[in-house]
């Protein structure tokens, strides 16, 4: 089709793995003859963003589809409520010079209602039909709290946005509101701070939960990319940091240069050293109270003399941070045999999965079938740089 040769790039619509449609009026073109070579040209697309002042007052007008991002469709409309709640929290901080606490929930709620009414009366400003008092009060109550799990989650989102900034993907536009209110305990709990590093968690989940975390006895299999994240989280949360609690970590691998881009606890001077020993030592440096023991032993049928009956029976739960299905299945079988909960997870590039397996309540890992591994995982290839 000569008319499409040697011209500006034509926008296309992909219709299948080997087919596409031209977004072009071709009624006056000659007949398509045969084959031909197509070059995929990535054309820059300008993206404009509203200023912070504009988008705070009207986040919907600043968004791509004229609505706020909804990360959890169980709570449709929650993002809108959170936006008003955040505005009220910042208004409280402007007035008092500090973020609100539990005792300030009613004042923040009053501010949220006032902001919403003003927005209703101002053309072009964003408002909600009715304030969800529970959302506003919870936002105010925990405004001073920072917990490691959610901080890591938002860190992942920010990392994705940085990747998008390189030009390959479309960035968020412009707001993403996310909460984990469903993780809060039901009913009254003792939230009295203990003047310790875990006070933010205590304010959210109570003393009883913190005391349980500190007494946990867990076993983590693998100290790679996921293992680094988990052992850091254990240290920051206080898991296994109390009397009777402990964390055991095993990985029979050594650190390589190609690991350093994602196994973030390790540095150049750690290359050649044991992953489990290095991860445990660094985590211990984050929290000296962490009761941690490292092994360099592969978990399998041939090492059951090391990881024997008393070892498994003494555990509260197990964490899988391995990179192959065979190891996952073996650990899953041990957890079924000893009736232990298992946190199963895995990553591949920017994709991830997580499965919480609880005896007598959920299916085990072996009950579902993962697709077979087609090739060597990219994380084990030694072509560096890639």
The set of catalytic residues is 379
How far apart CA 56 and CA 153 sit, in angstroms, is 23
How far apart CA 202 and CA 215 sit, in angstroms, is 15
Contact 100, 107 (CB under 8 A): yes
How far apart CA 328 and CA 318 sit, in angstroms, is 11
Q: For every residue of 310-360, which 3-state class applies, written as one string?
A: HHHHCCCEEEECCCCHHHHHHHHHHHHHHCCCEEEEEEECCEEEEEEECCC
Q: Which residues are bridge partners to 347 per DSSP?
A: 352
Q: For every residue of 47-81, which 3-state class applies, written as one string?
A: CCCCCHHHHHHCHHHHCCCCCCECCCHHHCCHHHH
Q: Which residues are bridge partners to 250 per DSSP?
A: 221, 295
Q: How far apart are the first and last CA of the chain?
A: 39
Residues 6+ apart with CB under 8 A from 68: 59, 60, 79, 80, 83, 175, 177
State how far the alpha carbon of 37 is from the alpha carbons of 1, 31, 72, 116, in Å: 11, 16, 43, 57
Which one-letter DSSP state was computed for residue 250?
E
How far apart CA 275 and CA 295 sit, in angstroms, is 10
Pairing verdict, β 246-250 and 292-295: parallel
Residues 6+ apart with CB under 8 A from 66: 60
Contact 210, 202 (CB under 8 A): yes
């Amino acid at each position: 089709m000569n008319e499409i040769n040697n011209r500006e790039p034509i926008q296309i619509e992909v219709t299948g793995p080997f087919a596409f449609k031209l977004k072009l009026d071709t009624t006056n073109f000659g007949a398509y003859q045969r084959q031909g070579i197509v070059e995929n040209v990535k054309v820059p697309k300008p993206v404009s963003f509203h200023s912070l002042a504009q988008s705070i007052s009207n986040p919907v007008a600043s968004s791509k589809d004229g609505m706020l991002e909804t990360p959890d469709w169980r709570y449709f409309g929650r993002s809108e409520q959170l936006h008003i709640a955040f505005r009220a929290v910042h208004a409280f901080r402007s007035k008092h010079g500090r973020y609100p606490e539990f005792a300030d929930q009613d004042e923040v709620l009053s501010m949220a209602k006032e902001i919403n009414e003003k927005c209703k009366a101002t053309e072009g400003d964003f408002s909600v039909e009715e304030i969800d008092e529970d959302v506003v009060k919870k936002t105010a109550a925990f405004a001073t709290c920072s917990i490691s799990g959610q901080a890591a989650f938002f860190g992942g989102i920010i990392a994705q946005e940085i990747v998008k900034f390189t030009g390959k993907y479309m960035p968020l536009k412009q707001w993403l509101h996310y909460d984990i209110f469903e993780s809060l305990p039901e009913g009254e709990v003792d939230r009295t701070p203990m003047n310790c590093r875990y006070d933010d968690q205590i304010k959210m989940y109570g003393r009883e939960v913190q005391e349980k975390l500190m007494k946990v006895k867990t076993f983590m299999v693998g100290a790679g990319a996921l293992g680094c994240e988990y052992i850091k989280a254990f240290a920051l949360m206080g898991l296994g940091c109390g009397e009777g609690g402990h964390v055991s970590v095993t990985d029979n691998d050594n650190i390589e240069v190609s690991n350093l881009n994602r196994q973030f606890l390790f540095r150049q001077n750690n290359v050649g050293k044991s992953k489990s020993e290095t991860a445990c030592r660094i985590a211990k440096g984050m929290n000296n109270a962490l009761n941690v023991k490292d092994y360099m032993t592969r978990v399998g049928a041939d090492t059951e003399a090391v990881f024997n009956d008393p070892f498994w029976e003494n555990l509260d739960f197990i964490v899988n941070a391995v990179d192959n299905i065979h190891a996952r299945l073996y650990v899953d079988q041990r957890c079924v045999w000893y009736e232990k909960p298992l946190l199963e997870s895995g990553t591949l590039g920017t994709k991830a999965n997580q499965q919480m397996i609880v005896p007598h309540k959920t299916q085990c890992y072996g009950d579902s079938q993962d697709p077979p591994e087609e090739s060597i995982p990219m994380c084990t290839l030694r072509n560096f740089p890639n």
